[in-house]
Structure 1
Amino acid sequence: MEPVNDTQISEFLLLGFSEKSELQPLIFGFFLSMYLITVCGNLLIILATISDSHLHTFMYFLLSNLSFAEICFTSTTVPKMLVNIQTQSKVITYAGCISQVFFYIVFAALDDFLLSVMAYDRYVAICHPLHYTVIMNPWLCGKLVLASWILCVLYSLFHSLMALRLSFCTHVEIPHFFCELNQVIHIACSDTLLNDMVIYFAAVVIGGGPLTGIIYSYTKIVSSIRAISSAQGKYKAFSTCASHLSVVSLFYCTSMGVYLSSAATHSSHSSAAASVMYTVVTPMLNPFIYSLRNKDIKRALKIVFL
């Protein structure tokens, strides 16, 4: 059968998690609850950093950017799934699918870059505390965040344009709860070798680059902490980066676990279920990780509520 041009494809079908109608209310309630917790939790982090002048530092500026990215990241996928469950429809338009691919990649990559910049910030704070205000000046801080946004948008735009060149036949079912790039590519009728090569190369560069920076920063941080003589000094230095290290571990462990599990099993539904960990669960847990052991955030939240 000759593949039709991709511009003639008007919609895709998102198969979601289960075909059983009795499970749909349970799935709807489960994801709606997690989505509301994610949005409210991250909004509180943003409000706390804005309301308290003591939090007007680069570290908390990065944290508020990360919280904003988490809200957008989850909002890219979950609301559409909730609407489809409520309307008992599986349809997503072609334009909506490509848009979902674009924004999903933007905010996933932005998480990666912001975590890397946050690791550099902690490295300077612990390894060069006397020069922190000089090194992490507002000009450099603004450029680091702006560069992260620009690189992520360009990176996502490139992937989206590569997806636009694909042609699709009549089989337009995506065995996922959102338009994940790999799933979209795999249902294409045209040759996808170039797309696959670009995905793997970009994953190594865009994913591996920030991860390398994080590992290097924490290698230096650990060396500096070990050189501190007092136990109290070591604890204080470690506590300044414990929350960030927890979020980094959660982000990379869940995302790597998803792709390793999808490589080990050919079940698309298993891959979709595993994707919930880093698309929904991780953004939901981040506000709790950053607030539970952070006295500054707790004080700022009291200002918000009182």
Structure 2
Amino acid sequence: IFMSFLFLFLSRKINQIVPENQTQFNEFILLRFSEKPEQQGPLFGLFLGIYLVTVVGNLLIMLAITFDSHLHTPMYFFLSNLSFVDFCMVSTTVPKMLVSILTENKAISYVDCLVQMYFFMAFAALDNFLLAAMAYDRFVAICHPLRYTVIMNPRLCGLLVLLSWIISILNTLLLILNVKQLSFCTDQEIQHFFCDLSEVLKLSCSDTFITYVLLYFAAGLLGMIPFAGILFSYAQIFSSILKVPSPQGKYKAFSTCGSHLSVVSLFYGTGFGVYLCSLVTHSSWKKTVASAMYAVITPLLNPFIYTLRNKDIKNALRKLISRISSFE
């Protein structure tokens, strides 16, 4: 409901400020994974299953953290926000693709394409910042354990999340407003299953130099700074762990950041995979598969990584399921 409201609100706002040179340009055509009719049914079932599991998994984590007072700590506060962002990110792309397969209508309106681009890029940027905040949380917990509660106070945690939202929203809005000024040629086919900015720019018959500069500047600055912060945090963490004398102490210290490190590896690994794939191959199908790993599979696996590796989350989920069962 929240996502639907935001989508409709932003669609109306963008529709009100679409420039006159776009009045005759109404829609794009999103190319699917396969054009073979016999493969549409299995693809629909596959992505519907992935979407439902992703939504349920992330919602369960959010509910478990909300209703279990033992999980009201900075680490799980960031995790609940990450689960919410993953839920929103997958909801910006997969439902449209499912409707496209079901109705055999590959068209997406110009305004809806802009809105989809906006939400996807904003949530991807939020994922980046939240992972950096979680890395800082683990750095303080392991390197400064005695000052942890003082440093990672609720005010700082809330401020980190708020700044992440503000920076992501403003940065993405700047890019979308710049794209809105472009004119598009007669070729309307986007070589993707959703409105990816780099693919949309290829269809423009305007000068896209400024847009590309903004895109690479934003990706470099807002992408590499959080990534550098994560690398610095883990360099300090590993340095502190190596100083622990007992093997059990080292294992205990490392296990507290194992889940986060796995999620970071998955997020940046698939992200760099999409970038490298776009450089080394001209196959639109391979690029689409690589993007699906980043946009769909990563939000799917995150709940499993934290659930399978975290006893606190497992216990909270058991309590939540028991509470739900008692109401029945």
Give the alignment of 1:1-306 within 5 angstroms.
Answer: 5-306=21-322
Q: Give the secondary-structure state (helix, strand or coil) at the position aligned to 1:179.
A: coil
Q: Which range moves more in the overlay, 263-272 or 220-229?
A: 263-272
In structure 2, list runs of 5 or more residues that go unmatched.
1-19, 323-328
Q: Distance in 2 between matches of 1:233 and 1:7?
A: 65
Q: Give the secondary-structure state (helix, strand or coil) at the position aligned to 1:140.
A: helix
What letter corresponds to residue 97 of structure 1 in structure 2?
Answer: C
In structure 1, list runs of 5 or more residues that go unmatched.
none
What letter corresponds to residue 304 of structure 1 in structure 2?
Answer: L
**Structure 2 length as normaliser, TM-score?**
0.91
CA distances 1:38-95 after superposition (whole Å, capped 9, x unpaired): 0011111101101110001111010000000000000000000000110010010111
**Structure 1 length as normaliser, TM-score?**
0.98
Q: Distance in 2 between matches of 1:188 and 1:15?
A: 17
Higher relative contact order (CA 8 A, sep 6+): 1
Q: Contact 1:42–1:67 at 8 Å: present in 2 too? A: yes
Q: Distance in 1 between matches of 2:250 and 2:192?
A: 46
Q: Contact 1:123–1:218 at 8 Å: present in 2 too? A: yes
Q: Distance in 1 between matches of 2:38 and 2:260?
A: 40
Q: CA deviation at 1:6?
A: 2.6
Q: Distance in 2 between matches of 1:34 and 1:90?
A: 20
Q: Contact 1:51–1:303 at 8 Å: present in 2 too? A: no
Q: CA RMSD in A?
A: 0.9
Identity %, equivalent residues:
61
